[in-house]
Structure 1
Amino acid sequence: MWLIAEYEAVSLFSLRPSATTASGGKTLLAPSPFAIKVAIFDALCRLQPLSTVQRYWPDIARLEVALRPAAHAVVSNVFQRVLRPSRSNAQPNDPDFEGFFQRTIGYREYVHLVGAFAIGLGWEGTAQRDWLSTALINITYLGKRGGFVQLLQAPEYQEVLPPDFISLTQPGMNFPLDGTLQVLDDCDDKVSFEKVNVYDQAKKLSKDDRQPRHVVLPYRLRRSSKSFSWYERI
């Protein structure tokens, strides 16, 4: 069974690859399976008690994720002023004190997604999951906070995934040779809720809990310069 929801980005999208550091400025062209699953869990947490939503996490972790990308993706390359925690040990009354944050310049990339895109969620069996449909309706952003999306139509159940979707969690047998390779992160299907809970400092995700997915997105680089890169869906 597949549940498909169609969205449109209403602000710029940005999501760093999981292998980069906090100072890295590169961005993915599409949300990763892990980002989508966490967005689903976040939407449910805003609607129901946490004790209730925790029971859904094992099913969320095992979801198959597919994507129909937007028609165009325009990546803007920008330098902007950012604040980083100060590494100085000076106290506020010392002459060398520069504040708790220091000003610096950071490289960032933001993606303008042109056109609608759709997310497909699959699982074994034919039972419908209305709680999952409710979560997709209430997703407001994907990737970095502020990457807002707007639902275009109510999620629909389908028995077969439409051919214009590509799987983000299963190895692709047929992919365009001139597509764009992306390394998207996913979570192991047996990872516990305590591992993904950012408020639990005792347990954190390890390398074994993350599963890199090498996906060739159907995006062809059409034009680029020092300030932008324009990708068109094949």
Structure 2
Amino acid sequence: MTGIPERKLELVRKLLAVAEHPGTDPTEAAVYLEKAYAVMAAYGIEQAMLADAGMVADEVGQLTVTVGNPYQADRRALLAGVAAALRCRAIYWRSGRESVVRVVGFGSDLAVVELLFTSLCLQMGSGVLRVRAPEGLATVSFRKSWMAGFVHRVCERLGEAERRAAADSAASTAGGRSAELVLVDRRAQVSRVYEEMFPRVRRGARRRLRDWSGWEDGRAAGDQADLEAPRVGSQRPAGLIGPDTA
């Protein structure tokens, strides 16, 4: 899997350090956070264009993540959403009390998926523990809808940033192909490999929320989520198993 250059990670960490400083104005902090993700989105476009021109090797591969409890289904949805926003395809199956998620995509995109999922999973997990349901509402269902809103908004933001990066790219391949066309082709290549790997896959039923009470609060938290590299010293395995509180 293609690794992200250290210089890119260092730039992102510096942007996040400013955004996370207690003295930074919230509006200014949001600008720094968006800039951090823009760096990664531009990196993805750059790798796609270089690979299309034959200047770097970037092949379709796979990433396997084991997702355990708590909130297993919600974390699984986060991983699938991040993967889709970054032109990857995801499938999962149960293995005992865990879910095994297989993500198929180009190596450079898989590296970003893994990085973002680790960071966002920690942010969602710590955020939902601070959530308190309003009086008269069940905490579990409120937290479920909060996480659904968080995932929805985070993935919207990822998609928006990717589209901006593609539109802003002035680069073209030797054959004159635009970034948009290159990305469409890469998504199609990923789909072909995915369908060859899983020819008889069955689409699961769409999750239905019975309680939407925490949705807007979750979306608001998703607006504030850091869409970049995990903080130094904050990483732990995304599939860490804990007590099942879902």
So what's the TM-score if we normalise by structure 2?
A: 0.25
* Greater percentage in strand: 1
Structure whose alpha-carbon radius of gyration is higher: 1
So what's the TM-score if we normalise by structure 1?
A: 0.26
* Greater percentage in helix: 2
